[in-house]
Structure 1
Amino acid sequence: MKFLVPLLMVALLVSNGANVRAQSTTNRLTVQEPAEPSGNVVRDPLGKACLDVEAAARPQSSNHDMLDHVVSIKNNCLRPIKVKLCYYKSESCKQFDVQAYKRVDTILGAMRGVSFFRYSVFQK
């Protein structure tokens, strides 16, 4: 949610007064629930989870019926973390490294008319 708030604020600042009301009631992003539990969680020395994960469904600009399933992962720890991001109970996955104190935004997939999706994050 922390990453999506600046996007919404920019949209509101760019629009003029008449459109502000319309944009606040017709949000283009559909924020998702947290990732499904998936075992190991990498933690910092104080026991706090290293990764902040947020996800949203976003309509494609060329076809509003197609929704990109966007996942943003931010590493708040000193070491890189290997991440495997999957649709829940699926073999449809992406693997990547999130470097220390960096953020990775990725599109897990795209589906026509599917604005809610479940996903799992495996980390080591």
Structure 2
Amino acid sequence: MAVIIKISSRSIRAAAVYFAFLPVFGAHAQAISRSPSRLTIQGPAEQSYQPVLRDALGRPCLDVEAATRVHVINPTLVDHVVSVKNSCPRSISVKVCYVNSDKCNAFDVASYKRVDTIIGTMSGIKNFKYVLLQK
């Protein structure tokens, strides 16, 4: 039994382009896989003992993620980044602080938008605790 496969000239050109650049992409992929990770995901925010704003279905309006990001030029410097995504139809005022500290960033998150903020940059400290206050 013979199997006939129809190959178009477009697929031949696409394959030729793919195989022509394969050594370039392959070397790049290996270099990326050997480099250390620049992001370290942090845990959830500490409890603020304030009521959490919720949508009509009872889900929290804000989705919060935090990570540390290592600088490319100087790997000993680390940014503490907090990302806040609003999934409600109204703007929410947010204040992100280090735990037991006055170091805070206050900002508004528009409806259905996301805001990334750097609450601090430190040398070599890859773990941090933060609290989120919302109005």
TM-score (norm 1): 0.82
Decide which of 100, 117, 120 is 1:106's aligned counterpart. 117
Which residue number corresponds to residue 37 of structure 2?
27
Q: Which runs of 5+ in 1 are unaligned?
A: 1-12
* Distance change in 2, residues 1:94/1:14 (3 Å): farther
In structure 2, the partner of 1:70 is 81
| TM-score normalised by the chain length of structure 2 | 0.75
With a CA cutoff of 8 Å and minimum separation of 6, indicate the structure with the bigger relative contact order. Answer: 1
Q: Is the 8 A contact 1:40 1:122 kept in 2?
A: no
Quote how far apart the aligned CAs of 1:27 are.
1.4
Cα RMSD after superposing both structures: 1.8
- Which amino acid in structure 1 is aligned with residue 44 of structure 2? P
Report how many aligned residue pairs link the two structures: 110
2:61 to 26, 46, 50: 50
Structure 1 15/56 Cα, relative in aligned 2: closer, same or farther at 3 Å?
farther
**In the alignment, what sits opposite 1:5?**
none
Write the distance in 1 (CA, Å) between the matches of 2:74 and 2:33.
24
* Deviations 1:94-121 (CA, angstroms, capped at 9, x unpaired): 1010000000011000010000000000
Is there any run of 5+ residues in structure 2 with no aligned partner, and where?
1-24
> What's the secondary structure of 1:19's corresponding residue?
helix
Of the three residues 10, 30, 52, the one matched with 1:18 is: 30
Distance 2:66 2:85 in 1: 12
Residue in 2 that maps onto 1:122: 133
Range with greater deviation from structure 2 (36-45 or 97-106) = 36-45
